[in-house]
Amino acid sequence: MPVPESVAIPEHAHDILTDLPTGHLATLRPDGRISVNPVALVFDGSHVRVSTLKSRFKYRNLLRDDRISISVPHRNNPNRYVEIRGRAILEDDPDRAFVNEIARIYMGADEYPFDQPGDERVTITIVAEQVSAPKIPLASDPPGAPDAS
Amino acid sequence: MPVPESVAIPEHAHDILTDLPTGHLATLRPDGRISVNPVALVFDGSHVRVSTLKSRFKYRNLLRDDRISISVPHRNNPNRYVEIRGRAILEDDPDRAFVNEIARIYMGADEYPFDQPGDERVTITIVAEQVSAPKIPLASDPPGAPDAS
């Protein structure tokens, strides 16, 4: 299945997405609450991708409801961030190619070392529908003073 | 109005909430999408509080729907985090006491310096209903390798 195009992410924010960021991925739970928790991610210039396991809540949440959002702060400056809202596309990662790509980028390892036998990897592709990458006060300052609002 | 009690946040995670963290606050938009973006926060041992403006989406979202979640990574180790899901209580901050407390804690300033004349501050108190503070692989490692899942 071809992945739909994403809304473009402004170029001034691309470095946020490629400098080993930790994103905070939000999905909707069956009880109506929002799940939000940290993830590694890969940005290929158009889409953000994340790896998960079929045993995780986020996978089950997204199977049921494909709405997804992610907040990605710059690794060294939380005043700079990108927020992406859109839809998730789920694809099996049977040869673990994508999770191993994450391991190479984030850990300098050839293989992601923490999975257990039987763990089934899935790649989440975020098709962006809305993107926010504001330039806010202190944007050029060091960390320690995220926006109060 | 007395603030309802929160579900307890495990003590092993309190340092995450008090060491100048940046939380990623998730709310529900009228169009059904999830908003999630970075915020400063104050933890008093039971509740997490955040400041916002009446002009912000998150305030309008929460007026309409009080469901709220926040993902708070440790400032220096994204493998450690706290996720809180619950309800938001909104209270006006007319004398700016709370936003100035944030300025003192995060910026060493007596007053939060970025508001404009007419900006109306609101304090969001998160009443936790569910708390997740997992101990995950690499929890004691330095930053750079957030959990892939």
Q: Is the pLDDT of residue B85 over 90?
A: yes
- What pLDDT, in 10s, does the model give residues A18-33? 999 999 999 999 999 9
Which has the higher per-residue pLDDT, B42 or B79?
Answer: B42
φ/ψ of B25, rounded to 5, equals -95, 125
| Main-chain phi, psi angles of A11, to 5 degrees | -60, -30
In whole angstroms, give the CA distance from residue A98 to residue A89: 14
Please identify among residues 67-86 of chain B the ones whose CB lies closer than 8 Å to any CB of chain A.
Answer: 67-71, 73, 75, 78-79, 81, 83, 85
The share of chain A scoring above pLDDT 70, in percent, equals: 89
- Architecture per CATH, domain A11-132, reads as Roll (2.30)
Domain extents in chain B: 11-132
Measured between beta carbons, which residues in chain B are less than 8 angstroms from residue A39? Answer: 146-149
Q: Is the pLDDT of residue A56 over 90?
A: yes
The span from the CA of A102 to the CA of A104, in Å, is: 5
**Total-model pTM:** 0.91
Q: Nearest by CB to B148, from A20, A51, A73: name it.
A: A51
Chain B within 8 Å of A107 (Cβ-Cβ)? yes
The chain-wide mean pLDDT, for chain A, equals 91
Nearest chain A Cα to B25, which residue?
A36
Residue B37 contacts A where some CB pair is shorter than 8 Å: yes
Contact between A137 and B144 using a beta-carbon 8 Å cutoff: no
* CA atoms of B38 and B26, how far apart (whole Å): 9
Q: Which two tokens stand for residue B96?
A: 């700016």
Local structure of residue A17 (DSSP, 8 states): H
According to DSSP, the residues that pair with B126 across neighbouring strands are B48, B88
Cα separation, A34 vs B25, whole angstroms: 10
Q: What is the mean pLDDT of residues B31-48?
A: 96
Across A82-95, b (16+ Cβ under 10 Å) vs e yields: bbbbbbbbeeebee
**Is-contact B39 B50, C-beta < 8 A?**
yes
Mean pLDDT of chain B: 91
Residue B148: pLDDT band by 50, 70, 90 thresholds?
low
Based on the number of CB atoms within 10 Å of its own CB, is A144 exposed (0-12), middle (13-18) or buried (19 or more)? middle
The length of chain A in residues reads: 149
**Is the per-residue pLDDT at A46 higher than 50?**
yes
Q: How confident is the model at residue A113 (pLDDT cuts 50, 70, 90)?
A: very high
Terminal alpha carbon distance of chain A: 40
Residue B29 above 80 pLDDT?
yes
What is the band of A4 on the pLDDT scale with cuts at 50, 70, 90? Answer: confident
Q: What is the pLDDT of residue B147?
A: 54
Smallest Cα–Cα separation from A47: which of A17, A80, A16, A92? A17
Tell which residue, A122, A62, A3, has the closest CA to residue B34.
A62
Share of chain A above pLDDT 90, in %: 83
Of A135 and A12, the one with more pLDDT: A12
- Tell me whether residues B107 and A51 touch, CB distance under 8 A: no
Say yes or no to pLDDT of B116 above 60: yes
pLDDT beyond 50 at B69: yes
| Minimal CA separation from A94 to chain B, in Å | 15
Q: Which of B51, B78, B129 sits opposite A22 (nearest CB)?
A: B78
The answer to whether residues B136 and B89 touch, using CB atoms and an 8 Å cutoff, is: no
Which of A22, A114, A138 is the closest to B137 by Cβ? A114
Partner-chain residue, chosen from A22, A36, A132, that has the shortest CB–CB distance to B146: A22
> Which residues in A lie closer than 8 A to residue B35 (C-beta atoms)?
69, 83, 85
Q: pLDDT band at A3, cuts 50/70/90? A: confident
Residues of chain B with Cβ-Cβ distance to A145 below 8 Å are: 40, 106-107
Average pLDDT over residues B67-92: 95
Instruction: Name every residue whose Cβ is closer than 8 Å to that of residue A111 and which is 6 or more positions away in sequence.
Output: A96, A100, A103
DSSP state letter for B58:
H
The whole-number pLDDT of residue A149 equals 54
For A129, the token pair is: 């529908």
| pLDDT of B46 above 70 | yes
Question: CA–CA separation, B10 vs A72, rounded Å?
Answer: 26
Are the C-beta atoms of residues B67 and B87 closer than 8 Å to each other?
yes
Q: Would you call B36 and A38 a contact, using CB atoms and an 8 Å cutoff?
A: no
Contact A12, A41 (CB under 8 A): no
Residues A114-148: tens digit of each pLDDT: 999 999 999 999 999 999 998 655 544 444 445 56
The reply to whether A137 touches chain B by the CB within 8 Å rule is yes
pLDDT at A54 over 80: yes
